[in-house]
Amino acid sequence: MTSTSFHGVQSQIPKFTGRNYHQWNIQMKVLFESQDLWSVIDNGFVEPRDQTTLSAQQRTKLKDTKKKHRKALFLIYQAVDEVIFERIPSSTSSKEAWDTLHKTYKGEDKVRVVKLQTLRCEFDGIKMKESEPVEDYYNRIVMLTNQIRINGEDIDDKKDC
């Protein structure tokens, strides 16, 4: 992880290496939101071509938005390892870089369907190991149900046997 200071707060930037995309995604969103940068990524940023008609207030806002955009793009670049970075160096906006990573690592629908099938089979066959503590067994169930939910399927907290 890279350490960066924002507004006097020391923050660890989670490093994405190609594994645990969902966890990294959540951590980065929280970081972006804490720095008031998420709206720039979520909504995108397009610099107006003709800035001559902008009022002083609009120019100030544009300058602030450009600064946020560059900061968000920098953070994305910092938060990925060298191999992952090669997917996004030509991105011209933080939204484009974020969307590229999301599309690449979140998985397309077909991949998600296969993942869900695998997770469902694993969930249906889960059994407590003989020497396994109840807490470890419970944690395995929670991890599986969270993965199923992350991949777009609702699963009840209770299951009739």
- Kindly tell me if the per-residue pLDDT of 27 is higher than 90: yes
Do 3 and 11 touch, CB atoms closer than 8 A?
yes
Q: Which pLDDT belongs to residue 28?
A: 95
The CA R_g of the chain, rounded to the nearest whole Å, is: 21
pLDDT single digits (tens) 101-160: 998 887 656 667 888 889 899 999 999 999 999 999 999 999 888 888 877 788 876 666
Alpha carbon distance 101, 95 (integer Å) = 10
- How many residues are recorded in the chain? 161
pLDDT level of residue 75 (50, 70, 90 thresholds):
very high
Alpha carbon distance 126, 117 (integer Å) = 14
- Kindly tell me if the per-residue pLDDT of 6 is higher than 60: no
Do 76 and 11 touch, CB atoms closer than 8 A?
no
In 3D space, the residue among 40, 95, 41, 33 whose CA is nearest the CA of residue 64 turns out to be 40
Q: Which helix (H) or strand (E) holds 91?
A: none
- pTM equals 0.64
- Kindly tell me if the per-residue pLDDT of 88 is higher than 70: yes
